[in-house]
Structure 1
């Protein structure tokens, strides 16, 4: 698969580098759209659909897709699917390097600043909700709009199983073989991805057993990938519920279940009606609200007095 045009990777960004200093000029908070949901629900698709309707660029928040390689196993969007929309943090990190939530916050914060500086809207999309949570907690210079693409779990599980079969047909086994680790270490970097450790037994034994046994071991690996993918989806939804119910995030839920019950043109029409149009309306309203003045670093009466007119102006528009 050919990947979309990337910006240059960010190197050695100090933690907290983008926090507003107390002496910095007071400015309105930057508006950021976040697309969330379980694996397979269409987060990348929706982010691209929105970016064709608004002046926007996309920041990947999937902790595995950030790595170079495994385009099929990790289901990265292709250049054609990107439709010319710039993507950041997608396929840029060395496969053996650890990429932490702290790394994500630093790189995503800088990407947001650069995108906003170009007059564009940052759209963050990906299934690593822990990374999104860390960014929201850390980056207080932004105002976030959360879109949650939700699909009934039984329907989604059927879709995910079918998707794994299609990925196998597209070369998933060969893709995973490139990252087979004879030492059995799947705890670091891209080798943690679902679809890599599950093939370990097959890769080790396939030249030592007969074809019937090979086929059996392969099918066991594929079934394990399906099971683990479904478990991942459940964990992601549980985390989303926690962010909404415990942390109080205002999430705009878009029920895409009917989309996944349909096929072909009917599915595309349902996606447009049930997901894209409502999302675009939410984002349009979000972008046209007055931007909130960031006061998180204000600690003196003089500074508060200085920003009071800006706050009053925002409130009266």
Structure 2
């Protein structure tokens, strides 16, 4: 059976009969389904989206505004071909680095990608940290997205102090992997850091260091000091980005009323090796898979998924649902 369940009936509206023909209501067009994976930088959005795409027939649409650009793979922490595990990715490294890719551009290209994915009988999974892009897509002015799609929001969350340490360590790892050399290749003393891929954290922070490299008046000690400062500023700005991303998610949930399933991955980042992988499966991957399965086979999405113990003959078993609710909350 196709995961999209294209032939499932739409829910029957609860209104007085008054001689109405309920068969007409049952013929209302059914919305297609979309999953959105949200979260601050470094929390594991890409990992979860791939986990889901290997469990369900799905393709992933990138919603990170820096990863849409070609180049700077280390700086933007772009997922590698090996890490994709054969899952098709859209809007990843496709835009000229000098161009400006706006929220409007994202809405148009992501909409085309979703239609293409659905047309192949697969589930679109939108994953990335640019919540402004996601909001522009989901709550568009013409209500096109909401009229066409039902959406399941998943939020991978990590306690702030734990995430800040991870982000700081990750910047060090990126530097060791060649981030500075990568950014140096794109350095231009007359560049505009407000446009294109040069807006990415890890590019403008190194401007003073690169200028010193090209200056005959700077000594080795000065350059070393500027490099250390640039790396530290990159860490600080990445942590600030994570805070802004969380604030936007809270606004979407509390002000706009989006129903978002929160998955707490804090313990994953407190473990190492196999233990961390086991905790990821227990607290993030498995609960998310159960939530998505329930979403795909639930015909009445207006009800709280936690109360739907047996919907359409494919509801999540009560014991499984209890485990999900222990780790996932709205």
Please classify the TM superposition score into its range, dividing by the shorter chain length: 0.7 to 0.9
Question: Match for residue 156 of structure 1?
Answer: 163
Q: How far is the alpha carbon of 1:180 from its aligned partner?
A: 1.2
Q: How far is the alpha carbon of 1:186 from its aligned partner?
A: 0.4
Q: SS at 1:79's partner residue? A: coil
Equivalent residues, number: 271
* Alignment partner of 1:36 out of 20, 25, 38: 38
Q: SS at 1:243's partner residue? A: helix
Q: Tell me, in whole angstroms, the C-alpha distance in 2 between the residues paired with 1:251 and 1:291.
A: 17
1:249 matched to 2:251: no
Q: How far is the alpha carbon of 1:211 from its aligned partner?
A: 1.7
Q: Tell me, in whole angstroms, the C-alpha distance in 2 between the residues paired with 1:232 and 1:283.
A: 28
**Post-superposition, which runs of at least 4 consecutive aligned residues in structure 1 deviate over 3 A?**
none
Q: How far is the alpha carbon of 1:26 from its aligned partner?
A: 6.2
Q: SS at 2:34's partner residue? A: strand
Q: Tell me, in whole angstroms, the C-alpha distance in 1 between the residues paired with 2:254 and 2:131.
A: 14
Question: Match for residue 237 of structure 1?
Answer: 246
Question: Aligned pair in 2 of structure 1 residues 291, 142: CA closer, same or farther (>3 Å)?
Answer: farther
Q: Tell me, in whole angstroms, the C-alpha distance in 1 between the residues paired with 2:299 and 2:59.
A: 21
Question: Match for residue 205 of structure 1?
Answer: 212
Question: Match for residue 264 of structure 1?
Answer: 273
Q: TM-score with structure 1 length normalisation? A: 0.83
Question: Match for residue 150 of structure 2?
Answer: 143
Q: SS at 1:81's partner residue? A: coil
Unaligned runs of at least 5 residues, structure 1: 1-24, 293-314
1:36–1:149 Cα contact (<8 Å) kept: yes
Q: How far is the alpha carbon of 1:210 from its aligned partner?
A: 1.9
Greater RCO between the two (CA within 8 Å, min separation 6)? 1
* Alignment partner of 1:59 out of 50, 58, 61: 61
User: Please, what is the CA RMSD of the aligned residues?
Assistant: 1.6
1:29–1:291 Cα contact (<8 Å) kept: no
* Alignment partner of 2:105 out of 97, 103, 106: 103
* Alignment partner of 1:167 out of 171, 174, 180: 174
Q: SS at 2:139's partner residue? A: helix
Q: How far is the alpha carbon of 1:253 from its aligned partner?
A: 0.2
Question: Match for residue 78 of structure 2?
Answer: 76
Q: SS at 1:182's partner residue? A: coil
Q: How far is the alpha carbon of 1:291 from its aligned partner?
A: 7.7
Q: Tell me, in whole angstroms, the C-alpha distance in 2 between the residues paired with 1:28 and 1:68.
A: 37
1:228 matched to 2:249: no
Q: SS at 1:271's partner residue? A: helix
Q: Tell me, in whole angstroms, the C-alpha distance in 2 between the residues paired with 1:285 and 1:316.
A: 10
Question: Aligned pair in 2 of structure 1 residues 89, 198: CA closer, same or farther (>3 Å)?
Answer: same
> Deviation digits for residues 202-254 of structure 1, max 9, x if unmatched?
00102432222111110000000000000000000000000000000000000
Q: Tell me, in whole angstroms, the C-alpha distance in 2 between the residues paired with 1:27 and 1:104.
A: 26
Q: SS at 2:113's partner residue? A: helix
Q: How far is the alpha carbon of 1:316 from its aligned partner?
A: 8.9
> Deviation digits for residues 71-114 of structure 1, max 9, x if unmatched?
00000000110000000000000011111111101111111111
Q: Tell me, in whole angstroms, the C-alpha distance in 2 between the residues paired with 1:46 and 1:181.
A: 36
